[in-house]
Amino acid sequence: MDAREMVSRINGNPEGILSKSEFIEVLAEAKFELPDEFIEQIWNIVHIPTETKRNAEESIDAKIAELYPGQAIPVWSVEHLKITCKEDLKDPEFLARFIELDPVDREEIIIAFMKTSKIGKKAIKDTIKASIAKIWPESCSSCGCVSALSDMIALEILNNNKLCTVKESGTILKFENGGWSEMSEIELKATAQEIGGKTGVTNKDIEEVVGRIKRDKLISMEYFERRPELFMDANGDVFNAITRQFEEVTDSNVTVIHKIGAVFNPTIKPPKEFLDVVELIIPDEMERKTLQEHVGSCLYRKMLYDKSIIIYGKTRNGKTTFMQIIEAVLGEANTATTSLQDLSKNFRLYTLWRKLFNFMDELPPDAVRNTSAFKTLQGGGRTTIEQKYGIPFEASLYAKSIFAANLLPMAANKDDDGYYSRIIVLHAPNTFLTEEQIGPDGLQDGEYHADPNLVDEIISNPDNLSGILNWMLEGLARLNEQKGYSLKLTLEENKARYDAMAAPEGELGKFIDMICYKDYSGNGLVRKADLKAMYEVYCKVVKIPSPSMQEFNKTLKILGHNPDYRKIDYTEKPVYASYDAEHKSPYLIKTLKLKDGWQTIMEDLQRLADGVDPTTPRPEDPVLEQSEPDGGQEVGGAEDILKNSGEGQTEFK
């Protein structure tokens, strides 16, 4: 068999164009023993765009002529159909070959026929469709292969992807890697254009593709809201976050769309390096438990407890490290990054829809003025969600928010109890420094070595993620068991705590006015260690976090007191912070002097911190060492302190 006969076999097969395997058999019969990659080139020529096809054909022609001199050059299938299609659009042989082509080649043939026949594209398509419907009615109705080009492309996309559309919002979901994720319309349109070719499809065709796919399979959001405790782990296995067991979903009305980044294995414990760093970031035990409970609540898709958390502390305090690890456990596709202030802006609530976790690093310090959207989000009820260029719809949002702030934003409305009651502030007082960031005097109080590789080392080990997932589920279980967070504050205490951290100089200034008076003559000399130790007792009484030394220094500067003055060979002993006695050159505050009666105030504060009413009769306490009388101002006692202690308020959960 020569080449011409081989081409005749290919183009004249009454059953339509040969399959690839049959094509290779014909080549073998014709003794075209070509390399596999060259056969692939020849086969794929029908899929090459028109403008490059001529070059490819010339290259293949030259190669065949070189290998098999004297044999006829084949005419390939699509080119043959372009020539023969003008003879009869109703010819069964032509139609059989046409059906087997992909949409791009079909479009090329139709365009070629338009040029020679001067018949419009729609008329040609209608003629072909009617002809095939007449010859093979079942084939046409079942596969729709000669319907409009948009239908051809839509079928191609649906055959290669598992898609569904949320009927309430019009959102397209795509199933891949064992879980459902959103497929944006721009992504879908790009896929349609890739299949149809840049010159082969119009904008109208692409819009029709999107509409066809959206109508193909509708699903109600109720299907994936029905079981809020079910999640899919990284292996594609469904587990129950409440029972902490695997579960097989048999209800056809339940769809698990949230696939997290960790593998569920209830036997694995959280890694020690993770627990250690969390303890350094949030030293207070009750605050640390509250953080664990909050991130655990991300694994239940309802707002049972209407709280958001703000982690407050200076820069490099480890909060971003913690959030990156939690994001790896939950999966990036399940997280959002919307700030507290931006929740009231148009379309921002849509960014939280179907998300488990909302984390905003570096929360802006701007005052929070419009709190309605935030309170609606935390309430957990159904709300209207607007999407850009999409239809508004109603849904419940369940993303749990954690905001990180170096400066806590002030509440614009101090009487907005609804805002204060929905915020829990956790204090991250420590600083983590790399070798390059450590000062010449080494690490100071509240400073720790930072490991820049810590996040990668933790999240690169699947067992670590499984252990941290179990740590989060433990927090969720405790939250549900005690029906609230471990950090329990009254509403008034929480407001005072928030406002104190939003303007820390206010509380320290209030304490200094209580215990000292200002002396700019240079005769003050209060040990900074004494002042800080006494202020820590006050912080415990008013239930605000004690500042680190760096924060304490910064606030002293704001109040106009130099925290960096030292006096060589200072002989006066500390009056409160005995640990500072070993320092022969202690830090002193030159502009402050302790008031007469400061000991009584500190005794009462200490009893309040220990949970004892200072007005209660008591055995004689040891007398604290006093400084020399200085003729300072007289101060009030326990009654003044109790006035500021916030006792007797309604409990804040």
The DSSP string of 121-165 is HHHHHHHHHHHHHHH-HHHHHHH-TTS-HHHHHHHHHHHHSEEEE
* pTM listed for this prediction: 0.60
State the pLDDT confidence band at 248, using cuts at 50, 70 and 90: confident
Taking only the tens place, the pLDDT of each residue in 427-443 is 898 999 988 888 888 88
The least confident of 311-315, 329-333, 597-601 is 311-315
**How many Cα atoms sit within 13 Å of 350 on the Cβ side?**
16
Please report where in the chains the tokens 């159909």 appear, as a residue: 81
Q: H/E/C letters for each residue in 438-486?
A: CCCCCCCCCEEECCCCHHHHHHCCHHHHHHHHHHHHHHHHHHHHHCCCC
Token digits for 302?
């309802």
Taking only the tens place, the pLDDT of each residue in 98-117 is 665 666 666 667 766 666 66
DSSP class of 623: P
Q: DSSP letters of 158-207?
A: HHHSEEEEETTTTEEEEEETTEEEE--HHHHHHHHHHHH-TTT--HHHHH
Instruction: Give the whole-angstrom CA distance, residue 177 versus residue 155.
Output: 21
The least confident of 61-70, 255-264, 292-301, 536-545 is 61-70
DSSP class of 567: -
Residue 1 has a pLDDT of: 36
Residue 132 predicted with pLDDT over 80: no
DSSP H or E segment with residue 41: helix 36-44
Instruction: Give the whole-angstrom CA distance, residue 44 versus residue 510.
Output: 81
Comparison of pLDDT for 105 and 519, the residue scoring more: 519
What are the b/e assignments for 81-104, b being 16+ CB within 10 Å?
bbeebeeebeeebbbbbbbebebb
- Total residues belonging to the chain: 653
Instruction: Give the whole-angstrom CA distance, residue 409 versus residue 215.
Output: 46
Which of 408, 379, 375, 371 lies closest to 396, judged by CA? Answer: 379
What is the distance between the terminal CA atoms of the chain, rounded to a whole angstrom? 88
Residue 638 has a pLDDT of: 42
Looking at every residue in the chain, the average pLDDT score rounds to 77
Sign of CA dihedral 82, 87, 90, 91: negative
Residue 601 predicted with pLDDT over 70: yes
Q: Give the amino acid at 306.
A: D
